[in-house]
Amino acid sequence: MRRVLVVLVVLGWWAALQAAASRGAVEPGQTWLLGSRATLYRDGTQVALRPGDRFEAAKVEGQWAFGRCRRGEASVEGRLPVAALATALTAERFEALRAAMTTYVYSDDEAARGEAAQAIRRFRRAGFPLMELAASRVGGLAEAAPAGEQQLTVQVGRDVEGEYYLALPRGYDASKTYPLIVTFHGMGGDGTYYRHWNAGDARARQTCILVSPTSTAAGRRTWWEDESGALILEAIRATMRDYSVDPWRVYAEGFSMGGIASTFWSQTWPDRFGAIGAQATCYWRRRRDVAGSVENMRLVPAFLAVGENDNPANVRAFKRLAGELGRLKTPHVFKLLEDTGHEFGGQEEALLAFLLKYRRTLTPRAIAYNYYEWIAGTLRPEWVYWLRIHDASDKARIEAQVRANTITIKTERVRRFDVFLDDRLVDLDRPVSVLVNGKTVHMGPVERDVFLMLEVIRETGDRARLFAAKVEVVLR
């Protein structure tokens, strides 16, 4: 209901905003969000600015605006050509646009979504940037964040209710963004596992949002059944929707059976996590499991730790996994903990420091993904970075490579998929060529569509998945 009311307010503002939206004069005291790249000049040096940076105007002299530019917590003072603000939005106009996009993405009221779409079209006709500037920030941030942990439930299957715990960092401020760590408990445990981050001086409780699901399996003995997978995705989606998550800094870690979960789901959904941690046990205990599965997570850095006195099978599995990651040149740390058995503790600071070094990879210029034999359930990975697979069988494989504006794809046992594009991957102002198994399936322009991008965010709950165009591929 709150989002519906926001849209009505936005539409009520429109008459007043439209006059201001005609690229009026820059005035001291205004805050602008940049819609394109620009250069800030400071003491003979130049600072490159990018879409989404905030510029706080202090004074205006001729063709120059003097003030402070902010990116996250960093700031720098200097002068900016007034012309650089031609594609920018004032903070007030940005909030109106963000509110409309938030309603379009998250509301279940179709009338409200229709009104939001009209508002978005008006901004588009006015020439404002609608892609990364606003879409990366859609979400209905909680007005009053709870101080303690929350125990939440969600329907994840017929007659199956999933549970997860949510803990916000101490001093949570919705005007800032925070990394998100998904934690996986061991066999027989539950979502309170995240509390291990309370130990010692673990900075995660001050700096990160923690989401900790409880396995839906009988006896909480596995993590890979369909309902647990659905629970993980829904917990991430709901947290991104309601809280100030940095969508590029999403991580996973787990202990014992939870280490199996972090490795299993990262090679199933390699574009969901910026990095992972696995403690005491990992998924690949058999040699034949390793090569294809690990290749899937080639772009997911991993922190691996196992006690030297743990089950020898666990130690061997970690050594094989570390060896495969080394062969693939995937950043990783492998720790064989002295005088330690099947346990994990005291490594939280090292784990956190490792995770926070990395950001998610969503637009790699080379992809290789294997559909291995599934061990349980019917859930299949659908999104593989910028590819969306609609029809593939076990032992399928897809490879893709981008060179300039040409995309070359090879497939085995894949029958239908979409190629999603954005300006980080190709130049959408120029023709794009897509070749599949040696045949050209598309050659020509691909139009940007802000509503396609918003529908992807609505479906996936992933605010970093800013794909504005697509090419559909059907193989015979």
Q: Look at 75-79, 194-198, 432-436 and tell me which has the smallest mean pLDDT.
A: 194-198
Token digits of residue 436: 């599949």
| 30 in Cβ contact with 60 (< 8 Å) | no
**Residue 377's pLDDT band (cuts 50, 70, 90):** low
Token digits of residue 149: 């942990």
> pLDDT value at position 19?
34
- pTM (2 decimals)? 0.87
Buried b (16+ CB within 10 A) or exposed e, 354-382: bbbebebbbbbeebbbbbbeeeeeebbbe
Burial of 430 (0-12, 13-18, 19+ CB in 10 A): exposed
Cα–Cα nearest to 385, from 359, 361, 412, 418:
361
* Percent of the chain predicted with pLDDT > 70: 89
CA distance 405 to 402: 7
Q: Are strands 178-184 and 209-214 parallel, antiparallel or unpaired?
A: parallel
For every residue of 335-390, DSSP letters joined together read EEETT--S---S-HHHHHHHHTT-------SEEEEE-PPPSSSS----EETTEEEE
**Residue 11's pLDDT band (cuts 50, 70, 90):** very low
CA distance 14 to 96: 9
> pLDDT value at position 171?
84
As a whole number, the mean pLDDT across the chain is 87
> pLDDT value at position 133?
73
pLDDT in tens, 227-240: 999 999 999 999 99
Range 444-458 average pLDDT:
94
CA distance 383 to 248: 16
Q: What angle do CA 164, 152, 135 make, to 5 degrees?
A: 85
Cα–Cα nearest to 297, from 372, 221, 393:
372
**Residue 194's pLDDT band (cuts 50, 70, 90):** very high
Range 206-212 average pLDDT:
92
| For residue 383, pLDDT beyond 50 | yes
- Phi and psi based region of residue 423 (left: phi greater than 0; alpha: psi -120 to 50; beta: remaining): alpha
pLDDT in tens, 413-446: 999 999 999 988 999 999 999 999 999 999 999 9
Q: Where are the domains of the chain?
A: 2-135, 150-355, 366-474
> pLDDT value at position 206?
81
Please name the residues in contact with 89: beta carbons below 8 A apart, sequence gap of 6 or more: 32, 33, 35, 97, 128, 129, 133
Tell me the sheet residues that pair with 255: 279
> pLDDT value at position 202?
65
What are the φ/ψ torsions at residue 458 (nearest 5 degrees)?
Answer: -60, -45
> pLDDT value at position 345?
72
CA distance 125 to 110: 22
> pLDDT value at position 24?
53
CA distance 25 to 85: 10
Cα–Cα nearest to 441, from 459, 417, 423:
417
**Residue 378's pLDDT band (cuts 50, 70, 90):** low
Burial of 433 (0-12, 13-18, 19+ CB in 10 A): middle
CA distance 198 to 130: 40
Amino acid, single-letter form, for residue 279: Q
Q: Look at 60-69, 130-139, 215-224, 455-464 and tell me which has the smallest mean pLDDT.
A: 130-139
Tell me the sheet residues that pair with 89: 33
Range 51-59 average pLDDT:
90
> pLDDT value at position 373?
60
For every residue of 18-45, DSSP letters joined together read HHHTTT----TT-EEE-SS-EEEEETTE
pLDDT in tens, 167-178: 998 888 888 889
| 398 in Cβ contact with 369 (< 8 Å) | yes
Which option is the CATH number for 150-355: 3.40.50.410, 3.30.70.1530, 2.102.10.10, 3.40.50.1820?
A: 3.40.50.1820
Range 132-146 average pLDDT:
73
> pLDDT value at position 23?
43
Q: Look at 122-131, 349-358, 461-470 and tell me which has the smallest mean pLDDT.
A: 122-131
List Cα–Cα distances, 73 to 32, 38, 178, 358, in angstroms: 16, 19, 12, 18
| For residue 1, pLDDT beyond 60 | no
For every residue of 162-230, DSSP letters joined together read EEEEEEPPTT--TTS-EEEEEEE--TT--GGGGGGGGSTT-THHHH-EEEEEE--SGGG--S-SHHHHH
pLDDT in tens, 267-299: 889 999 999 999 999 886 454 454 567 899 999
Q: Look at 52-61, 123-132, 165-174 and tell me which has the smallest mean pLDDT.
A: 123-132
Range 179-187 average pLDDT:
96
| For residue 411, pLDDT beyond 60 | yes
Q: Look at 103-117, 199-213, 225-239 and tell me which has the smallest mean pLDDT.
A: 199-213
CA atoms within 13 A on the CB side of 347: 25
CATH homologous superfamily of 2-135 equals: SH3 Domains (2.30.30.40)
| 263 in Cβ contact with 283 (< 8 Å) | yes
